[in-house]
A and B are shown apart, each in its own frame.
Chain A
């Protein structure tokens, strides 16, 4: 039953999608659209075909290489960013003095549009991968920082009382109450960070680069090869969806207690394990 309703809604969505594309194609074919402004879907499709299936080489690499380069730069920047962000947040959560005197800088830092630092970053780190990684790190460190901090500072008085009455130690309190309590927020921060890291990487590639989807986009657009630039946009959308889905799945697996279904699944598993052992 569930699969049937899923199939029906999937069909409906894809139908509406195809309908929109079809209307666009027909309208463009009868001269309603300036081809320079919005290329026909069939042309974009043909370009995608030649890029992905025929391994057309552009800017010293196939699209797979550019895809991989962007993804790698983004991931490294993301890892740096969340490491810095969460470390600062944990320090700030456990040390009031640190929180009081360091948090304002983080906030001021956040008011500056991180993207505006791009020219400086290129001057410092050069035209290679480093500058892309640095910009991705810079733009993505703030959401994990602020979310981890609010998550760790959030407190539940009744839970604290319960932990006190059963005589839990500080570390038990941290691992069993404070951290699980904070994780949903932490993951919300990570999800924000991963999309901004992608954005930072692509923007840095606009600045100057030899590889990456961003530079492909720019080259195509400046040659007024609109089909090509829309094809690279589609590639970026695919990358965005991929990254977003990974983050979503990880969120659902790790923070299983957020929704009732996940909670039930895990507690059943734990029950079964207990039955086997005892």
Chain B
């Protein structure tokens, strides 16, 4: 006999499943729309709890294309999050590299890191806002503080996990310390490191948004909160959806960079790259 959960997942092409996906999605939307129209006694209450999907789409068109209100705030939030993620990543990776290179540093930094991990770092938000003001920098600082942990842990773990045999080979080839670090440790850690970047970006968004909720002059956090206060829930949903959509695009771009950057994990790219290098070195195969 075989166990039901362990049958291989059938490979059905997207072509076949797509209609069902769309059907389910459409059904959900229709149910939602009908709930809004007929499920509540009070229309205001209905729009408060579940604004109609058609209204949300109209609101999205409005804020993205007609009125273009969202762009200023969207750019502001993305700017804060990306700046924060970059700064946090630089700090996290720097600390991780220092920790792998020096045993003493690693030993003394460990309790601090545990303490940092357990503290909900986002909670520092009000302090940053009180000190750095309502503008860009309080949000960037909070985003960086929240973001630094992912790259730190991933870089550290990646750099510490080195294939012993490869290290032996590097030694027998007489590689310098720098070469071993750069071409072996760093290269093999690259996958984890880039996963850390993605973690950093995701958490930096959280940090930037929280800083904006606490107090800010612009940004998606402010915009969504304003829409909610004006009880225009469809607009609030539209704002939320634009964050989702552009966040999704950003992550897709990061995925693509990953794919190109870590070319040695993909057979096709690896072949192409080595062909290029052979030509450059003047080796004709």
CB neighbours (8 Å) of A101 from chain B are 20-21, 24
A113–B243 touching, CB < 8 Å? yes
Is the Cβ of A36 less than 8 Å from the Cβ of B131?
A: yes
Number of interface residues of A (CB under 8 A): 61
Instruction: Judge whether B127 and A119 touch: CB under 8 Å.
Output: no
B110-152 at interface with A (beta carbon < 8 Å): 111, 115, 117-120, 122-127, 129-131
Name the residue of chain A whose CB is nearest to the CB of B243: A116
In whole angstroms, how far apart are the Cα atoms of A153 and B7 in the complex?
Answer: 10
Instruction: List CB contacts (< 8 Å) of A108-142 with chain B.
Output: 108, 111-120, 122-124
List, in ascending order, chain B residues with CB within 8 A of A230's CB.
127
Shortest distance in angstroms between B77's beta carbon and chain A's nearest beta carbon? 9
State A199–B119 Cα separation when bound (angstroms). 9
Interface SS of A by simple majority: helix
**Chain A residue nearest to B117 in the complex (CB):** A244
1/0 contact string of B241-284 vs chain A (CB within 8 Å): 00110011001000000000000000000000000000000000
- Give B49's nearest chain A residue, CB to CB: A124
Which of B59-67, B187-195, B221-229 lies at the interface?
B221-229
Q: In the complex, what residues of B have CB within 8 A of residue A152's CB?
A: 5
Separation of A232 and B49 alpha carbons in the complex (Å): 35
Task: Judge whether B130 and A224 touch: CB under 8 Å.
Answer: yes
Complex partner residue of A111 from B21, B119, B244, CB under 8 angstroms: B244
B122 touches A202 (CB 8 A): yes
Number of inter-chain CB pairs below 8 Å: 146
For A236, give its contact among B120, B129, B131 (CB under 8 Å).
B120
CA distance A98 to B2 in the complex (A): 20
Give the docked Cα–Cα distance between A120 and B9 (Å): 38
**A13-B111 contact in complex given A195-B120, A236-B119, A240-B118, C-beta closer than 8 Å:** yes
Given A218-B126, A241-B115, are A113 and B120 neighbors across the interface (CB < 8 Å)?
no
* Any A CB within 8 A of the CB of B202: yes
Contact check, B243 vs A206: say whether CB atoms are below 8 A apart: no
Given A111-B248, A120-B240, A237-B118: A17 in contact with B228 (beta carbons within 8 A): no
Least CB separation from A163: chain B residue = B3
Bound-state CA distance A160–B158 (Å) is: 32
Residue in chain A with minimal CB distance to B28: A105
Q: With contacts A94-B5, A101-B24 known, is A198 near B206, CB below 8 A?
A: no
Q: Do the beta carbons of B228 and A123 come within 8 Å of each other?
A: yes
- Residues of B within 8 Å of A206, CB to CB, are 125-126, 210, 213-214
Contact, CB under 8 Å: B228 / A122: yes
Q: Which residue of A has the minimal Cβ distance to B77?
A: A116
In the assembled complex, B15 has its CB within 8 A of some CB on chain A: no
A93-B5, A94-B4 as given contacts; A112 in contact with B244, CB under 8 Å: yes
Residue positions of B touching A, CB distance < 8 A: 1-6, 9-10, 17, 20-21, 24, 48-49, 108, 111, 115, 117-120, 122-127, 129-131, 202, 205-206, 209-210, 213-214, 220-221, 224-225, 227-229, 231, 233, 236-237, 240, 243-244, 247-248, 251
List 21 A–B pairs whose Cβ atoms lie within 8 Å, in order of A's numbering.
A111-B248, A112-B247, A113-B202, A113-B206, A115-B206, A115-B210, A117-B240, A119-B224, A123-B48, A123-B233, A164-B1, A170-B3, A174-B3, A178-B6, A213-B123, A217-B127, A218-B214, A221-B127, A233-B119, A241-B115, A243-B118
